[in-house]
Amino acid sequence: MTAGDYTLYRKGDPLTSRIAAQAILALLPALQQAVYAYAYAQGPDGFTDDDMMDHFGSIRSTYRTRRSELTRAGLIMDTGRTRMLPTGRSAIIWAITPPEYIA
């Protein structure tokens, strides 16, 4: 399954993860779908907001705001890890919340 140009799950993902991702995606507005699909594709390695904005080719807060909304909804989480950016500042690494932890 894809959301726009983004693959929603990896070939090796178990069927239960694929079903959960499809169910979640169907409930989200288009930009949130794109951000969720991007986050899902990053897997457990996660991503920073800068990574995400580079991916979408945007320096505006549009995608960061959608990630924030998904975080508040419990679908994306702070991994507790950070990555040093070229600017020298530290950035939070985000990842999707595993389906078994979504209420």
CATH number of the CATH domain containing 40:
1.10.10.10
Amino acid identity, residue 66? R
By residue range, what is the domain housing residue 94?
Answer: 2-101
In the predicted model, is pLDDT for residue 2 greater than 50? no
Q: Quote the tokens at residue 45.
A: 């390695």
End-to-end Cα distance, the chain? 23
pLDDT digits (tens, 9 = 90+) for 19-56: 766 666 666 788 898 999 999 999 989 999 999 999 99
Amino acid identity, residue 81? R
Residue 4 pLDDT:
42
Number of compact structural domains in the chain: 1
In the predicted model, is pLDDT for residue 5 greater than 50? no
> Is the distance from CB of 4 to CB of 37 less than 8 angstroms?
yes
Please name the residue that has the structure tokens 């979640």. 24
